[in-house]
Amino acid sequence: MLASDNPEKVSARAKGDSGAIAGGLPFALVPGWLTLFSADHVQQNATQGFGYSGVTPFARHHSTVCRFIRLSFHSSVVSFVCRFISPIEAGILKEIPAMAFDCIVVGAGPAGASAAYHLAKRGRSVLLLEKQALPRSKPCAGGVSPAVAQWFDFDFSPAIASQISTIAYTFKLEDPVTATLDGLEPMWMVQRDVFDHFIVQQAQRQGAELRDNTAVNGVAWQGDRWQVNTANGPVEGTYLIAADGAEGPMSQWLGFKDVKHRVGAVLEVPAPAGTANQATFDFGVLKNGYVSCFPKGQSYSVAGATFRGGDGTNLTPVLQDYAAQAGLDTSQSTLKTHALRLWDGDKKLHTQNALLAGEAASIVDPLIAEGVRPAMFTGVKAAEAIDQAIAGDINALEHYTNLIHNEWGSDMVWAQRIAGAFYRFPGLGYKQGIKRPAATMYFCKILCGEMRYSYIANTAIKRLSGGLIPGRG
């Protein structure tokens, strides 16, 4: 790495003073990390008035040093330590191979974005790769527990479409029950294009570099780092987080066994004026699963999924019929299917300098298909583990696997057992469980992390099985 014998502190005004930086010649940042910039590039970013992370197109084009220092433009003055370099030095730098990021995160959903945020906040160099251009839509019912806020130090309000405190249930569209979340924080309803991108933006503000519209087409371990091959060329990282979702290839490329997934679907329907702001669930309309309807401001998300038996159910007519009977106009609706990786038992979530997070780790709740909260949880914990590994803890990645098993997987065992009994006999489950006044409160406390499935599992299973025995139930 080149170093400055006499580094200078140079300031450039945000308007009209680019000549202060060597008339547009490249210069090198010297305190620790090296990159190439041009005065015009600094001038362009300074006038925009926001922080910039990364290297210039000039540097990227010539495969120069990719590790970077974050430049923040908080006022009209941009200050940094630099020295000017000659065209000869610039030519030499062209031949220097790209340095590895501390961590490359593949997938900019809730898991990947959460991991990128916390790693960048800890001062680690992070590259976040996303195959689609952001913001991008994601088929999802869109209910998110407010409990996720405890893992972050920023306000999620701009990313929340609406909040609900009332939940209505039916069994085959009959026998309605309504419950309110008395004493509990309202549940968040989100549009995933807005919500996911919002977390990504927070990660960028901490210094994470985003490359969206960049598909990953392979990975290879190079002895001390991962090479991630993308449609725009290879990048390298000491550590790797696979957060590319239920259908992503990363887990298989990393040597993990293929996992069967189930299929869900979401019907997006315009919301009529004056519609009640409540979430609704129906048990019985869809065999081996449920249908939900979540309000999101100007639209409703009508979602369905099955949790046991074969997964060959055609969800489209079920969702369309449910929406129509709920009084929603489906003439302008859009339907998308998506894969679900339900938790199906403890499994290894780490390998050589790499972790699985989110649905790539089969993290979805097997009873209610909650996926966003556990995905963000794994992202937060993956960041902590890799930060510890970088600091020298050789067992940090193994501890991540054990932590996810203990803090999430152990309770999903009970969720799976309840699901097996409930969806086998949904009518009995509705009578013995859903209609009980405490049921909604219990499940909301579970969603908020205040209660575990293990607390209610034995009682729930006994009631479900007891109802099948004459004289009991």
Cβ neighbours of 79 (radius 10 Å): 12
SS3 (DSSP) at 277:
coil
Q: Establish if 469 belongs to a structural domain.
A: no
User: How does pLDDT run across 449-466, given as a tens digit for each residue?
Assistant: 888 898 888 888 777 765
Pick the residue with more confidence: 101 or 309? 101
pLDDT in tens, 407-434: 999 999 999 999 998 999 999 989 888 9
Length of the chain: 473
Is residue 17 domain-resident?
A: yes
Residues 6+ apart with CB under 8 A from 356: 241, 242, 243, 250, 251, 254, 256, 349, 350, 378
Within 8 A by CB and 6+ apart from 80, the residues are 9, 10, 29, 69, 71
418: left (phi over 0), alpha (psi -120 to 50) or beta: alpha
User: Which candidate, 360, 411, 403, places its Cα nearest to that of 384?
Assistant: 403
Q: What is the mean pLDDT of residues 161-183?
A: 91
Kindly tell me if the per-residue pLDDT of 49 is higher than 70.
no
3-state secondary structure of 406: helix
Is position 41 within any domain? yes
Mean pLDDT of 30-50: 35
Contact indicator for 164, 278 with CB cutoff of 8 Å: yes
- In terms of Cβ atoms closer than 10 Å to its own Cβ (0-12, 13-18, 19+), residue 51 is middle
- Residue pair 104/228 in contact (Cβ under 8 Å)? The answer is yes
Q: Kindly report the pTM of this predicted structure.
A: 0.79
User: Averaged over 73-86, what is the pLDDT?
Assistant: 39
Tell me which of 210 and 27 has the higher pLDDT: 210
146 to each of 111, 359, 450, how far by Cα in Å? Answer: 16, 20, 12
Query: Which residue range forms the structural domain that includes residue 34?
Result: 8-93
Cα–Cα dist 239/247, whole Å: 22
- Across 68-72, 165-169, 205-209, 339-343, least confident range: 68-72
Cβ pair 291, 279 in contact under 8 A: no
Could you tell me which residue, 469 or 461, shows the higher pLDDT? 461
State which H helix or E strand residue 197 sits in. helix 192-205
Residue 92 has pLDDT above 70, yes or no: no
Adjacent-strand bridge partners of 266: 303, 336
Tell me, what's the pLDDT at 100? 86
Q: Measured between alpha carbons, how far is 216 from 354 in angstroms, rounded to an integer?
A: 15
Tokens 């004493």 found at? 183
Cα 416 to Cα 364, 420, 453: the distances in Å are 11, 6, 10
Alpha helices in 350-468 (DSSP H): 372-390, 396-404, 410-424, 426-429, 438-447, 453-466
Query: What pLDDT does 16 receive?
Result: 31
Written as one letter, the residue type at 83 is R
Question: What pLDDT is stored for residue 30 in this prediction?
Answer: 32
What interhelical angle do 372-390 and 110-121 show, nearest 10?
Answer: 30
Check residue 99 and give its pLDDT: 67
Instruction: Specify the pLDDT at position 457.
Output: 84
Longest CA–CA separation in the chain, Å: 91
Residue 380 confidence (pLDDT) above 70:
yes
Asked if the model's pLDDT at residue 355 lies above 60, the reply is: yes
Contact, 7 vs 84, CB < 8 A? no
The sign of the dihedral angle between the CA atoms of 32, 34, 37, 39 is positive
Give the sheet arrangement for strand 187-189, strand by strand: 143-144, 187-189, 162-164
- In this structure, are residues 210 and 305 in contact, taking their beta carbons and an 8 Å threshold? no
59 in a structural domain: yes
Residue 98 falls within a domain, yes or no? Answer: no
For residue 274, tell me if it sits in a domain. Answer: no
Please check the confidence at residue 206 and state whether its pLDDT lies above 70. Answer: yes
The closest alpha carbon to 345, from 329, 362, 357, 332, belongs to 362
Q: 342 Cβ partners below 8 Å, 6+ apart?
A: 261, 262, 307, 362, 364, 365, 366, 369, 416
Query: What is the structure's pLDDT at 208?
Result: 98
- Phi, psi (5° rounding) for residue 127? -115, 125
pLDDT of residue 105: 98
With respect to residue 24, please indicate whether it lies within any of the assigned structural domains. yes
Q: What is the pLDDT of residue 442?
A: 87
The string of DSSP letters for 144-188 reads E-GGGGGG-SS--GGG--EEE-EEEEEETTEEEEEEE-TTSPPEE
The mean per-residue pLDDT over the stretch 81-110 comes to: 66
Sequential DSSP letters for 352-375: TTEEE-GGGGT-B-TTT---HHHH
Range from 209-218, 293-302, 345-354 carrying the lowest mean pLDDT: 293-302
In the predicted model, is pLDDT for residue 316 greater than 50?
yes
Residue 98: per-residue pLDDT: 55
Say how far apart CA 379 and CA 219 lie, in whole Å: 20
Asked, for residue 20, whether it belongs to a domain, the answer is yes
Point out which residues pair with 293 in neighbouring strands: 280, 302
pLDDT at 111 over 70: yes
- Looking at the 3D structure of the chain, how many domains does it have? 1
Q: What is residue 69's predicted lDDT score, i.e. its pLDDT?
A: 36
Greater confidence (9 vs 256) lies with: 256
Tokens of 382: 């993956």
